[in-house]
Structure 1
């Protein structure tokens, strides 16, 4: 055996899984081909989402773990507890903010409604006329690539990281380029959208997204700003969509999203989609037009049909475990996902009910 568990993928989900498995006393080998994925391309927002009870449970539990990690994380992980303002553009969205507040408070997530004058005082760059917002102070942001590296470095005697291209999986064995084989008691697939190259039967599809970052403008924005229509855009639209999502980075830069295009794997920036995304952002914050943008890029989210990740044993492949399909919440939900996987692999009781996330909820013919 080359390890107790082989983890394929060193993004935030794979790294968190390796960290939790090592914490449970297992010897872990992490294989990564350095192609990059959603971890390097995403916003790194840590936000409690409540589109359904399972999403709320996973994200809420994950943020509690992130807060436990925060004091120990390296400075370059750029942890920033900026909180989130869910913006209500009209009375209907203000009603939605009330409903969101009730759901979050029912699960002990601290949040408060603020009125229009308070919102304008807190974020004066926003356009006048918004009705108010829901403030969730416990949300944060982090620089996910460095957080992933930090997690892997916490257990130097139990976690080994190897640059390797995995070409195939056979139970608890993996075949590398050059036809070399490695074996373990279990193999954990945690490489996001690339997982379908090794397991084409997985029910995940790409959702392409665009991001743009500005030059440094310290103090321009204090909170992560998200329109309440973001949830509809993120999970319920079946075609291309955009929504206003703006994040202040600790550097003083502003990170602007978000867009979604289904089944488009091209890495190139789509000028029309980027323009729509920026037009949406300008409609909420006109002052953005006076700022300098320094880079824009795209990334691919791995989405499942029900927008919940696949966390557990592959229903048809003995020895293979899955931690994929996190869509745009991989950074947020990596900690709780990892604890669920580690508990299942080691035979311990999980802190959350694993049933909503088990891969067996979908039919897969290996």
Structure 2
């Protein structure tokens, strides 16, 4: 057991310099990542208090499409985490899948040119080496998967592991399950400071009183940099705005899979600040069709971008011409927690012992949440995590301070 992990058990045993201990772990944030962390920690016997300044799933978790993807990730640590999370979704949480509408619909990535098809094939080779299931799809086979696709497309790739969930239901039910194991959830409770014992973080301050704890987990999404700052450390999580269109209800299975253009993979990996749009189109159980995805770094500006929405609509119609006759009922948008190297921040922070992080997942947070939560819980109780957390270390940004500007 490491020194950090021994300290958690020390505080849990009440050896906190005379203070009564109300929790082993305070989780800051009640989105999908915080909820998954609370659930798996509670399952491991950790006494958890979740604090959320707003409502459950009131941030990024309420503003996405619920992607559980492997298709959009290059070979590397994030893909490994996505594959690990797939196992957690499909094995550890299989009995609860209906609660959050887990749908193993598969993803179809399509290319408009032969050059893009070649890039897709090369990506698929690298992904297969890491354990991804992917089938090459010829031009003539595309409409076997999606009958309404444009006939102008050059080819694609099908990923049967790609899935979909309803993220607000994920957060709500995981927190309910955690409460059944003794966790407390306090909404409308803002963290205004951190308790300290020397360099060690020993709990949180809130307007309703202090909550001493053996460890504090920063799972506060796009606001994670602010929570880290309370401990005097820098974690470069920045907001990246995105829009989604919702159409009128359509007949069932008009669009059978999650369908997106090949350039989406490049946009996900880009660090550009300017607007980027790449069409992602899928149906829902209610019959509505969701159209994404845009990305732009504009701080926390909530202004509705007519340019972003119009571009998304035009690109979706290019994939599915029948959408030209379909009305958009509404749009919604939110902010993805973006890190400059496109990897989340997961694990204990050596700069502030007692502070842990689970943040910075950008648009992959829903899919990666359960794997992240299980790994955090394993490390917290002194078990060896199923994955090496080194690539996600909170202090890895020492040489990229320029990215914060």
TM tier, smaller: over 0.9
| Contact 1:127–1:286 (Cα < 8 Å) also in 2 | yes
What secondary structure, in the 3-state scheme, does the structure 2 residue paired with 1:5 have?
strand
Q: Is the contact made by 2:42 and 2:182 (CA closer than 8 Å) also made in structure 1?
A: yes
- Partners in 2 of 1:157 and 1:19 — Cα distance? 8
More strand by share: 1
- C-alpha deviations, 1:192-237, integer Å up to 9, x for none? 0122232342211110000111122122100100111101112225
| 139-148 or 150-159: bigger deviation | 150-159
8 A contact 1:7–1:189 mirrored in 2: yes
Residue of structure 2 equivalent to 1:275: 310
SS class of match (1:360): coil
* Residue matched to 1:158: 182
How many angstroms apart in 2 are the aligned matches of 1:45 and 1:188? 24
| SS of 1:165 mapped into structure 2 | coil
C-alpha distance in structure 2 between counterparts of 1:65 and 1:295, whole Å: 33
Residue 256 (structure 1) aligned to one of 274, 278, 291: 291
Asked if 1:360 is matched to 2:395, the reply is yes
Contact 1:17–1:342 (Cα < 8 Å) also in 2: yes
CA deviation vs aligned residue, 1:86-137 (integer Å, no higher than 9, x gap): 1121111111221122122212222211111211232122111211211111
In structure 2, the CA distance between the partners of 1:114 and 1:52, relative to structure 1 (3 Å rule), is closer
The structure whose Rg is larger is 2
- In 1, are the aligned partners of 2:241 and 2:335 still within 8 Å (CA)? yes
Deviation, 1:264, is 3.0
Find the aligned partners of 1:62 and 1:119 in 2 and give their Cα distance: 28
Residue 122 of structure 1: aligned partner: 145
Give the distance between the partners of 1:69 and 1:291, measured in 2 at CA: 39
Deviations 1:136-180 (A, max 9, x none): 1111100011011111222313211112111112312211125x2
Partner residue in 2 for 1:233: 267
Contact 1:80 1:250 in 2 (8 A): no
In the TM superposition, 1:8-23 aligns within 5 A as: 8-23=28-43
Structure 2 length-normalised TM: 0.86
Q: How far does the alpha carbon of each residue in 1:28-80 deviate from its partner, in whole angstroms, 9 at most, with x for none?
A: 11111225211110110110143241111011111111112564226351211
Dislocated runs of 4+, deviation >4 Å: none
The alpha-carbon distance between structure 1 residues 339 and 70, as it changes in their structure 2 partners (threshold 3 A), is closer
Q: Look up the match of 2:241.
A: 208
Q: TM-score, normalised by structure 1?
A: 0.95
Structure 1: which 5+ runs fail to align?
A: none
1:3 is matched with 23
Question: Given the superposition, is the C-alpha separation of residues 345 and 69 from structure 1 closer, same or farther in structure 2, using an over 3 Å criterion?
Answer: closer
Partner of 1:284: 319
- Matched-pair contact (CA < 8 Å) for 2:75–2:127: no
Q: Distance in 2 between matches of 1:4 and 1:151?
A: 18
Shift of 1:313: 1.5
Task: Quote the Cα distance in structure 2 between the aligned partners of 1:343 and 1:70.
Answer: 16
- The answer (yes or no) to whether the contact 2:242–2:334 under 8 Å persists in 1 is yes
